[in-house]
Amino acid sequence: MNLSLLAGLVGAHPGLRGKRELGAVASALGGDGDDAAVIDDGAGHLVMAAEAIRPGFVAASPGPAGVAGVVTVVNDLAATGARPLALLDCLVAGDRPVAEAVLAGLRTGAGLYGVPVVGGHATIEEGLAPALSTFGVGRARATLRARDARPGDHVTLVACLEGQMVAGEDGDHFSHLRGPRRDRARSDLELMPEAAEAGEAWAARDVSMPGIAGSLLQLCESAGGLGAELDMDRLPVPAGTTLERWLLAFPSYAFLLVGDHAAIAARAAARGLSAAPVAVLDGSGVLRMASAGVREVVWDLAAEPLTGLRPGASGAPGPASG
């Protein structure tokens, strides 16, 4: 395993580098960088999340982009300990066939997760480039917040390894919705709020565009600038793909949970999901990769912040952005 090569690929990953633009959010609005925003309303926790699907993806694959609009936002809610209640969408398209394909994808995704699309907005006008944003609201009895992570906490990667790797314009995507667990999408998502309510996990992040290592870096930054060592020898890899490709892919079901690894692993095993102890948080502010006693630095948050989003970030109180 060439750790130097892998660390370089992670650090240069467009999905990770693109997150640096969130510095504009940090300076203007502040925000802790968690996957979703949490409002304590006296009856529990109202959780809200929003996602924008890349316009190139919407143009090239409008149906799958509609499904992705659902997957990304329900994952953000789940990563904060919430069960999704409803979705909304904002759609722009240059013609009706593209709009209909996106909406059909939204309907498919919403059906798989059992979450209604209760409203939104659509603009269909000749010449407009297609674009899609989705919004979700959920409720949590117990929340998963990066600010609650501490040095010494264990990080478990819970993932569905059954699915299909799909090459896209913006990188590889691993879809468990193209595998045998497709019809268990909502049930599998339940693991997150259940682990939070049982006190087994207290912080989390979904693995998204930056891949596994990049998403771990985001978790560390949102935890106040912690560090971690990603154990590459413990990283599970789906059959039929390579470690490098899996490390950089955007999976439709993969979460980094901070908490009691044994309890989380038992809960995942009962569902037939993979759970691997991949890191321990520390106070270094440095993300490293390790294999067979060799270590390689990926990113030093003290030297180069990623987004600037963390508890106590400057600016007025604002939304989570991830």
CATH of the domain at 56: 3.30.1330.10
Say whether both 56 and 194 belong to one domain. Answer: no
Query: Are 204 and 268 within 8 A, CB to CB?
Result: no
CATH number at residue 206: 3.90.650.10
Let me know if residue 313 belongs to a domain: no
What pLDDT score does 318 carry?
A: 44
Q: 186: closest CA among 138, 114, 254?
A: 114
CA 292 to chain centre: 28
Q: What is the mean pLDDT of the chain?
A: 93
Pairing mode, if any, of strands 254-259 and 154-159?
A: antiparallel
Question: Is residue 256 assigned to a domain?
Answer: yes
What six digits make up the tokens of 320? 């989570």
Regarding whether 129 and 68 lie in a shared domain, the answer is: yes
Does 157 reside within a domain?
yes
Domain presence at residue 317: no
Pairing of strands 37-40, 45-53: antiparallel
Do 22 and 49 lie in one domain? The reply is: no
Whether residue 60 is found in the same domain as residue 174: no
Clarify whether residues 53 and 22 are in a common domain: no
Determine the structural domain holding residue 131 and report its residue range: 37-140
The list of the chain residues with pLDDT below 50 reads: 314-318
Let me know whether 104 and 237 are in one domain. no
Q: Which residues contact 48 (CB under 8 A, 6 or more apart)?
A: 36, 37, 39, 135, 136, 137, 138
Q: How many domains does the chain have?
A: 2
pTM for the model: 0.94
| Domain finish residue from 111, 140, 169 | 140
Query: Do 14 and 161 belong to one domain?
Result: yes
| Helix (H/G/I), strand (E/B), else coil: 86 | strand
State the pLDDT at residue 37: 94
- Residue 321's pLDDT is 56
My answer on whether 48 and 171 are in the same domain is no
For residue 226, what pLDDT is reported?
Answer: 97
> Is 79 a domain residue?
yes
CA 274 to chain centre: 17
User: Is 161 in the same domain as 46?
Assistant: no
Residue 315 within any structural domain of the chain: no
In whole angstroms, what is the distance from residue 300 CA to residue 255 CA? 22
Q: Which pLDDT does position 315 carry in this prediction?
A: 42
151 shares its domain with 223: yes
Q: Are residues 186 and 102 in the same domain?
A: no
160 within some domain: yes
> Do 19 and 158 reside in the same domain of the chain?
yes
Q: Which residues contact 18 (CB under 8 A, 6 or more apart)?
A: 209
Last residue in a domain, options 94, 121, 140: 140
* Residue after which a domain boundary falls, among 117, 140, 163: 140
